[in-house]
Amino acid sequence: MNYRSFNLRYLLLSVAVALCGAQALAADDLKEDFNPVETGVTSLSIAPDARGASMGDLGAATEPDANSQFWNPSKYAFAYSRGGVSISYTPWLRKLVNDIFLANLSGYWKFGSEENQAVSASLRYFSLGEVTSAAAGDVATTTINPYEMAFDIGYSRKLSEKFSMGIVFRYIYSDLGYNTSDVGDNSTGASAFSADISGYFTTYPIIGQNECQFSWGFDISNIGTKVSYDGGNQPAFLPTNLRLGAMFMFPLADYHTLALSLDLNKLLVPTRPRQKDYTKVVDGVEVPDTEAWDRAYRDWQDMSPITGIFKSFNDAPGGMKEELKEINYSLGAEYSYNQQFFVRAGYYHESQWKGNRQYFGFGAGFSLNVVRLDASYMLATAQTSPLDQTLRFSLTFDMDGLKNLFGGRK
């Protein structure tokens, strides 16, 4: 029996995330101005670890850890330990369903005579749970398990005592679990390749009688091919993203430090043309200009990812005012006692016209010589947000600590 299975859950969840912003706009009769940047494989933008999430989804310039692969892999060259591995787990959209999750494994190893280089890797797996496919008449026929995954490897190196750079190569696979034709075509998976380029600067200024730390960093992630589920007829841009961040850490007292951080993010993806923005005057009446919109849509659809990166800075229908609304920001703080106990908090803000994701993050961590456990909790400012009450857990193992347990450092 030939049928087309439709991933209804994925569609509903995607719409629910978007509607958390559209609902706020409806109250002000501004729904027509809701214009988020559209991408494929959106799970690549989900923060994988509890530490970064608890500070409002930031990490471009924070202290290096085993999860720096997502935030800024060039930080690995400045890591204190020679190696580390982290496992993270996030139950996703748990207010709606209970079987969607993101699992992430990442790690690094420093090498060289001065240990100024590092190799790193990560594997992330985003499961959309179990979905029932239906044939005509809504008769249940089978179940599918849509998922998205990515594997990457990276290399970072100190270029000076204060600055490092890094590069990451990534393979992406997305299988949303629905057929693309009515003739039994089951080739639903889509593959893509991308790369990240990053940099990190850190210095230790003396302010008063205290040694502080100031860092800044950048990461341009997911520069790569488009992804398509129908043989290239409707390709989607990857979530290419520019992240800029700064961090200032200062001592409060002996063994007590406080770090304040700021991250700015902008998707380097061209905005999809809206039909409402293309009109013409006929007999003194303004009517939709379908031909002009069709040309603009085809140009957008055929645009290369590299061209799209440069186009993304000046293509918003509302001009520079709307471009600025595409910049999301995160503010976060991390208190540390003797690098063993941590308390964190932060805030993430996205314009209501570009998605309306606005939430607070809270978290804590506890570190021993070998292992560190971190947890975070997300509290959305909109009661209707499906992202509200999101939990994350990360377990990190320090490879130097493990080597010391089993015979000492070589």
Q: What is the pLDDT along the chain (410 residues), one digit of tens a residue?
A: 333 333 444 444 454 454 444 444 444 545 667 788 889 899 999 999 999 999 999 999 999 999 999 999 999 999 999 999 999 999 988 777 788 999 999 999 999 888 899 999 999 999 988 777 665 555 556 777 889 999 999 999 999 999 999 999 999 999 876 554 444 444 468 899 999 999 999 999 999 889 999 999 999 999 999 998 877 678 899 999 999 999 999 999 999 999 999 999 999 999 888 888 888 878 778 888 888 888 888 888 889 999 999 999 998 888 888 889 999 999 999 999 999 999 999 999 998 888 888 999 999 999 988 899 999 999 988 766 777 788 999 999 998 776 666 665 44
In a domain, 288, yes or no: no
pLDDT score of 272: 87
| Number of other residues whose CB lies within 10 A of the CB of residue 134 | 16
Structural domain containing residue 231: 8-271+312-405
Cα(295)–Cα(212) distance, integer angstroms:
55
Number of domains in the chain: 1
pLDDT score of 297: 87
pLDDT score of 321: 87
pLDDT score of 178: 57
Strand partners, 346: 332, 361
Can you give the pTM of this predicted structure? 0.87
In a domain, 235, yes or no: yes
In a domain, 305, yes or no: no
pLDDT score of 2: 34
pLDDT score of 30: 54
pLDDT score of 282: 81
In a domain, 331, yes or no: yes
In a domain, 62, yes or no: yes
pLDDT score of 185: 47
In a domain, 345, yes or no: yes
pLDDT score of 240: 96
Buried b (16+ CB within 10 A) or exposed e, 73-111: bbbbbbbebbbbbbbbbbbbbbeebeebbbebbbbbbbe
In a domain, 133, yes or no: yes
In a domain, 332, yes or no: yes
What is the domain-level CATH number for residue 99? 2.40.160.40
Question: Parallel, antiparallel, or unpaired: how do β-strands 327-337 and 285-288 relate?
Answer: unpaired
